């Protein structure tokens, strides 16, 4: 089950049904079983503090992913900075919704075992993000 929450940020409208369908498709396509995924949308300050506290990183980030996977079952929390999404959307000249979608898939891909530490891993992650961003839910319905 995929749920969305707001923490340290004012709630706003989301196309949660679209995200849920595409996340489910991603997890299934990667050969895993979907369990509980919580997507927490928060402020820059909140995520910065989490990054320092949990990862000893002293910088802003757009997402922190906590995995609770068991065997082939995908479960975790994705903490996403709405402020970073807004800034990145402007920087990359894409809509807020498209950048949020990309970052959500980025986190789910981490849950599926993809990393982004090396150039090769980053390239593979970007290819996967693009594939799932381009996937049209209406093709399946």
For 6-54, the pLDDT digits (tens) are 998 888 998 888 899 999 999 999 999 999 999 999 999 999 988 888 8
Ordered structural domains, the chain, with CATH: 2-139 (3.40.390.30)
Q: Is the pTM of this model over 0.75?
A: yes
The distance from CA 45 to its chain's CA centroid, rounded to whole angstroms, is 18
For 46-95, the pLDDT digits (tens) are 999 888 888 777 777 899 999 999 999 999 999 999 999 999 999 999 99
């Amino acid at each position: 089950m995929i749920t969305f929450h707001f923490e340290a940020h004012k709630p706003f409208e989301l196309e949660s049904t679209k995200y849920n369908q595409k996340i489910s498709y991603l997890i299934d396509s990667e050969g895993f079983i979907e369990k509980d995924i919580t997507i927490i949308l928060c402020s820059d300050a909140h995520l910065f503090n989490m990054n320092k506290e949990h990862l000893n990183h002293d910088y802003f980030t757009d997402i922190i992913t906590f995995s609770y996977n068991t065997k082939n079952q995908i479960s975790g929390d994705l903490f996403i900075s709405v402020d970073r999404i807004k800034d990145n959307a402007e920087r990359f000249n894409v809509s807020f919704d498209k950048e949020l979608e990309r970052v959500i898939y980025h986190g789910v891909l981490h849950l599926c075992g993809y990393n982004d530490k090396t150039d090769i891993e980053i390239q593979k992650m970007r290819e996967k993000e693009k594939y799932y961003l381009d996937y049209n839910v209406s093709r399946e319905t």
